[in-house]
């Protein structure tokens, strides 16, 4: 299973999701991103204001060796 961590600016603890679908749902409902912004974050792994309210990063868990 591919686990994904969402790191939110100002929050020391990542939120963990069991895949892109559950993360995408969180981004749309809780982070209030529009569909294009959610797709951009999933594709690029980073989203910053003004596209989002605060900086967001996504990383796989566990991180690949050497990262």
What is the 3-state composition of the chain as percent helix, strand, coil, each rounded to the nearest 5? 30, 25, 45
Give 12-49 pLDDT, tens digit per residue. Answer: 999 999 999 999 999 999 999 999 999 999 999 999 99
- The two three-digit tokens of residue 10, written as one number: 């100002």
34-35-40 Cα angle (round to 5): 100
Give this prediction's pTM.
Answer: 0.86
Buried b vs exposed e over 3-41: b needs ≥16 C-beta within 10 Å? ebbbebeeeeeeeebeeeeebbeebeeebebeeebbebb
């Amino acid at each position: 299973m591919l686990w994904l961590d969402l790191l939110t600016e100002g929050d020391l603890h990542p939120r963990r999701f069991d895949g892109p679908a559950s993360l995408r749902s969180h981004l749309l409902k809780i982070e209030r991103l529009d569909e294009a912004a959610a797709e951009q974050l999933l594709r690029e792994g980073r989203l910053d204001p003004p596209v989002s309210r605060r900086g967001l990063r996504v990383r796989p868990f566990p991180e690949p060796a050497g990262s």
